[in-house]
Structure 1
Amino acid sequence: MSTETHGLALDGTAMLGRQLRRLQNSPGLLILTQTMPVTMLLFFGYVFGSALAMPGAEYRSFLVPGLLVATAANGIMTGMFQAAQDTHRGVTDRLRTLPVSRAAVPLGQSVADVLVTAAGMLPFLLVGLAVGWRVEGSALGAAGAVGLLLLFRFATTWVGIYLGLLTRNEEAAGQLGGATFILPLLSNAYIPTGGLPDWLRTVAEWNPISAVTTALRDLFGNAPVPEGAAWPVARPVAGSLAWCAVLLAVFAPLAVRRYARGDG
């Protein structure tokens, strides 16, 4: 391991500890992020489940992977708000004066976010089991689904960190972050896209959320890959990995550079 990599690992671990302590001191936010997906599962599962043609239990099995991915996509919102909050309050400027790797701060934030997301999956999946969702595929496939989900959360958090450094304001980040709720609505997270108009179906199927949701449904064994879909959905695992790679390749360097320049 090179000296630079070793330094990044040590500094990143220190920043990870800072982020976890920060979350520990904000129990309200932590509780909200953990309970909201469960609330949405119960609401959408029973309200939409009774309105759609598919049986309620089947729809809830269809819905659980979609809500998992929608929650992972919220990494944009949480990453944006935390980065903007640190910048607005001057914390980012103070961190820049420390002799730490410039990539360590956003890296620590993104890793902490993934750990919290992983912990929050357990109560959600327990409620999912209670309302009829089951892992109908192999254990290896289920493990792959969880890994893919956390990778997607890691990627979306980097998107949020960059946008938070760009906005530099808590209020603006909160308003912009709230607008991200529309992203799962323009996907197959909540409903199948087969009945949508062609142009809207194309938009939905090129949404990264659709690829990851389809991959999770396939790996969990909850629903087959739809026929005639766009490439990211027709090859959902490959499409999901490609989207994660693109998001990380674009936004991670942008976030690190903006943080390092001191204009974020």
Structure 2
Amino acid sequence: MSTIVQALGDGAVVAKRNLIKIKRVPDLLVFSTLSPIMFVLLFAYVFGGSIQIPGMDYREFLMAGIFAQTVVFGATITGSGLADDIQKGVIDRFRSLPMARSAVLIGRTTSDLLNNVIVIVVMSATGLLVGWRIHSSFLEALAGFALLLLFAYALSWGMAIVGLMVRSPEVFNNASFIAIFPLTFIANTFVQQDNLPTPLRVFAEWNPVSAVTAAARELFGNTNPLFPKPDVWSLQHPVLTTLIWVVVFLVVFVPLAIRQYRKAVSR
């Protein structure tokens, strides 16, 4: 028990260090916020007129997908930050301190979770300006935001593994985009998965990003009761599916990330 408490305490110190870094280099937060705002405006005003969602405003259909895409991209900050710390020798200095080995990873993922909170708040304001509305209760909406952040936190541990394996932040950015772009675009984020070719539709139906997007739409009340119900279990129960993915990610990625951290600091 004392080991867990120590790890959490040390992780809080590392998280504070990362947040101070954002305060001193505000460009990190500015550009991570501007990107999703651009996506909202681009899809709402440029592509929105060409994409028809029967029975509902495309902007209400869109926002859950933008939220999901944004938190997934936000999770990549974890890997990029770790790759940068390794390159600059910061991890080696952490290693010389009497701190838990998992503290660096706990602090990194926690600070990036808080960064995602800020981005979601800004995005919500942007969505309201372009016509998005929440049609569910306050608690359901809060659960929707919490589920998005929980999914991003679990995914950030996977990004941590990649960040600890590569040699530089530039390599990580290239490697992560190869995985992130198919996950966020071959999904129900911007279009209905039923309109995709069969191989892509099957991938989209079981894509974890599709599950969290559908869960957010359901919890925000951005659904159309006239839509035919999905044929697959994952989208019939998107909230439960998302929680299952979160548990799987944490069970698999957390021990692997800690193991990779031990290897990375020794090279």
Q: Would you call these one fold, judging by a TM-score over 0.5?
A: yes
CA distance in 2, matches of 1:5, 1:178: 33
1:3 and 2:2 equivalent? Answer: yes
Match of 2:78? 79
Q: Distance in 2 between matches of 1:226 and 1:144?
A: 24
Residues of 1 paired with 2:130 and 2:199: CA distance?
34
Alignment deviations for residues 214-242 of structure 1 (CA, whole Å, 9 cap, x no partner): 00000000015862342221210010001
1:101-112 correspondence to structure 2 within 5 Å: 101-112=100-111
Q: Give 2:258's aligned residue.
A: 256
Shift of 1:75: 3.5
Classify the secondary structure of the residue corresponding to 1:194.
Answer: helix
Distance (whole Å) between structure 2 residues aligned to residue 75 and residue 121 of structure 1: 10
Q: Which amino acid aligns with 1:258?
A: Q
Partner of 2:116: 117
Separation in 1 of the partners of 2:175 and 2:259? Answer: 22
Q: Which residue of 2 aligns with 1:58?
A: 57
Q: State the alpha-carbon separation in 2 of the partners of residues 98 and 32 from structure 1.
A: 32
Q: Distance in 2 between matches of 1:161 and 1:64?
A: 27
How many positions carry a matched residue from both structures?
Answer: 263
Q: Which residue of 2 aligns with 1:243?
A: 245
CA distance in 2, matches of 1:42, 1:255: 36
Write the letter of the residue equivalent to 1:211.
A
**Local SS of the residue matching 2:177:** helix
Find the counterpart in structure 2 of residue 232 from structure 1: 234
Consecutive unaligned residues of structure 1, counting only runs of 5 or more, are: none
Moved segments of 4+, more than 6 Å? none
2:139 match = 140
- Alpha carbons 2:75, 2:153 under 8 Å: kept: no
Identical columns (%)? 36
Aligned partner of 1:199 in structure 2 is 199
Higher mean C-alpha deviation, range 74-83 or range 201-210: 74-83
Q: Equivalents in 1 of 2:201, 2:28: separation in Å? A: 34
Q: Which amino acid aligns with 1:52?
A: I
Cα distance, 1:178 vs. partner? 3.2
TM-score for the superposition, normalised by structure 2:
0.93
Cα RMSD (Å): 1.8
- Structure 1, residues 86-121: CA drift from partner, whole Å, max 9, x if none? 111111111111110111101101011111111121
* Aligned residue number for residue 190 of structure 2: 190
Q: Compute the displacement of 1:56 (Å).
A: 11
2: CA distance, partners of 1:250 / 1:6? 22
Q: Distance in 1 between matches of 2:82 and 2:14?
A: 13
Report which stretch shifted further, 212-221 or 164-173. Answer: 164-173
Instruction: Determine the C-alpha separation between the residues in 2 that align with 1:76 and 1:263.
Output: 25
In the alignment, what sits opposite 1:174? 173
Q: Which amino acid aligns with 1:36?
A: S
In the other structure, the counterpart of 2:222 is 222
1:14–1:260 CA distance, 2 compared to 1 (3 A): same
TM-fit CA distance, 1:252: 1.1
| CA distance 1:97–1:35, change in 2 (3 Å) | same
Q: Which residue of 2 aligns with 1:99?
A: 98
Q: Aligned partners of 2:13, 2:167: CA distance in 1, in Å? A: 23
Q: Please tell me whether the aligned partners of residues 103 and 256 of structure 1 are also in contact (alpha carbons under 8 angstroms).
A: yes
Higher mean alpha-carbon deviation, 158-167 vs 171-180, is at: 171-180
Paired with 1:228 and 1:121, the residues of 2 have a C-alpha distance of 28
Q: CA deviation at 1:213?
A: 0.2
Q: Which residue of 1 aligns with 2:15?
A: 16
How do residues 206-217 of structure 1 correspond to structure 2 at under 5 angstroms?
A: 206-217=206-217
